[in-house]
Structure 1
Amino acid sequence: MDRKASIAGMDTVTLAKEQRHQERIRSSEKRSEKCEKLSKAQFSEAVLTDSSCSDNERPLASFIPDSKPNKRSHERTAKSGTEAFIPHNILSSPILVALATQIKMTPAEQSAFTEAFVEEAGGDPSQVSTSYSQSAKVRRVVNKKIADEIKKSWVTPKFTSIHWDGKSLPTLQDKYEHEERLAVAVGNSDELKLLGIPAYQSGTDERAGEIISRLTSELLKAWQCSGNVVNMMFDTTSSNTGHMTAACIQIPTAP
């Protein structure tokens, strides 16, 4: 019948969607009723205004209420453009470097795009540093500065959890070669911070659990949050859950 009930989280989500749908229907009905009342009022006003005229003399438009609302004009005005100064070291702008890195633009692509943009804007590309080597060098320096500022400004939560997980990924130099990457993150219910994704080689004299614990401990020290970790999350592999060389045992005892 009309009794409301839910069994699990999915039913709760479905119920919320249905309630929003019913609310939209009720709002639409209210708008229709309001428009209908307004149309009747306009029709009655038109009839009373033209009551002095006979039906033959009265125009037909007076009997038809204007129910369509007035449409707003959406005319677009042509932009006149703007003048801007492009410095010679535009490639070293932190905003542009962060944006190029975020959209995965290579240094060569960023250099070619900047040169074409300057030329299209009517400037002289020879007066701007747009070389590939300069773009790659500046990107490394600026990204390091941005990372250092983020690390300095981050405030560690009082109580946080640590989560790590490894995965085999292609190397940065050759996509056909693979290496092990360890993702380490800390956070709580309100905030999550990725500390780093260091690479390591498996199959060496050092065991996997020892490598994971060493890399994780180094990241915790670098971000100055080793004393705030109260919980650990990891996969149930032997390198994480072993009783002697597991990462979950060695991390709490790391200096």
Structure 2
Amino acid sequence: MAKEGVLIFVPHDILKSKELVSYSVRNNISTTQLNTIVYSFVSACGRDTSKLNLSARTTHRYRASIMSELSLKNKDDWHPSDKVLVHWDGKLMDTLDSISTDDHLPILVSGDNSTKLVGVPPLPHSNQKGDPHKGDVISTATKQLLMDWKCEENVVEMLFDTTPSNTAQKAGACVSLKKELGRALFWFACQRHVGEVILSACWDCLKMEGSSGPTIMLFKRECSVAGVALGRKYASDVRI
């Protein structure tokens, strides 16, 4: 019995395929890896690979063009919910030289139907703690992206961490964004950071160890002691 197969036509510019480009980007496949996959597939089918355009530079140009088209289509096809929440959180990221870092601001909006990453704009990096101008920069970048995605009128809530650049009474990002949009917004502070603020106030009042990072040594020591005690109890129960 003869084995059945499928006869397909592979065009010379197969790497222009939107489906192929979208799949490779979602799965973090580089242009070189994509060329290798297509070359191996065509070669395994016993076909002439010289008729394909597998230049790395051409593949990169195809991908940049296709991704621009897909991003515009994605923006046009997306429709926000009637009421959405906007969430931002700054993140220091390594630059291409892996020596310095840049401050980026991921901004998301979420509603009844979906959560959408609307952009990750770069911000001017400042080494000054509690920079009074950072809140205005954050609110301006956030409003611009909301306008680009045509959802600025749908925003009713803000989700943020409790850093001074966000919560300052006069120049914080929350106050500035409220002024930019011209209406009141619900403040939804991150629960973890709210807990840190309350805990730091207790620490200051009791003149105990300050918290300068995610690990508080007092908690670490107490958890270690509790873990040892629980282990001993479990061991005694097993022996019984």
TM-score, scaled to structure 1: 0.65
Distance 2:106 2:148 in 1: 15
- Structure 1 residue 239 corresponds to structure 2 residue 165: yes
The residue that corresponds to 1:97 in the other structure is: 21
Unaligned runs of 5+ in 1: 1-76
Is contact 1:184–1:195 with CA below 8 Å preserved after alignment?
A: yes
1:175 to partner: Cα distance: 4.0
1:184 aligned onto 2:107: yes
Structure showing greater Rg: 1
Provide the residue aligned with 2:147 in structure 1. 221
Q: Aligned equivalents of 1:177 and 1:91: distance in 2?
A: 34
| CA RMSD, 1 decimal | 2.1
TM-superposition CA deviations, 1:11-50 (whole Å, max 9, x none): xxxxxxxxxxxxxxxxxxxxxxxxxxxxxxxxxxxxxxxx
Secondary structure of 1:250's partner? Answer: helix
Helix, strand or coil: the match of 2:89?
strand
Worse-superposed segment, 184-193 or 125-134: 184-193
Following the alignment from structure 1 to structure 2, what is the Cα–Cα distance between the partners of residues 200 and 90? 38
Query: Could you tell me which of 120, 139, 151 is aligned with 2:63?
Result: 139
Equivalent pair of 2:81/2:113 in contact (CA under 8 Å): no
Q: 1:128 to 1:198 in 2, by over 3 A?
A: same
**Structure 2 portions without partners, runs of 5+:** 182-240
- State which drifts further: 95-104 or 174-183: 174-183
Paired residue type of 2:176: Q
Q: Is the alpha carbon distance of 1:88 and 1:208 closer, same or farther for their aligned partners in structure 2, counting shifts above 3 Å?
A: same
Deviates more, 1:237-246 or 1:110-119: 110-119
SS at match of 2:106: strand
SS in 2 for 1:88: coil
Q: Which amino acid in the other structure matches residue 116 of structure 2? A: K
Question: How much does 1:102 deviate?
Answer: 0.8
Distance in 1 (CA, whole Å) between partners of 2:110 and 2:58 is: 37
Amino acid at match of 2:147: K
1:189 positional shift: 4.1
Q: Is this contact kept in 1: 2:107–2:120, CA < 8 A?
A: yes
1:130 and 1:206 mapped to 2: Cα distance? Answer: 51
Q: Does the Cα contact within 8 Å between 2:136 and 2:176 map onto a contact in 1?
A: yes
**Secondary structure, counterpart of 2:81 in structure 1:** coil
2:40 is aligned with 1:116: yes
Show the 5 A alignment for 1:54-93: 79-93=3-17
Contact 1:217/1:251, CA 8 A, preserved across alignment: yes
Please say which of residues 208-217 and 185-194 is displaced more in the overlay: 185-194
- Structure 1 runs of 4+ with >6 Å offset: none
Residues in 1 aligned to 2:176 and 2:90: alpha-carbon distance in whole angstroms: 17
Q: Secondary structure at the match of 1:254?
A: helix
Counterpart of 2:53?
A: 129
8 A Cα contact 1:202 1:208, kept in partner: no
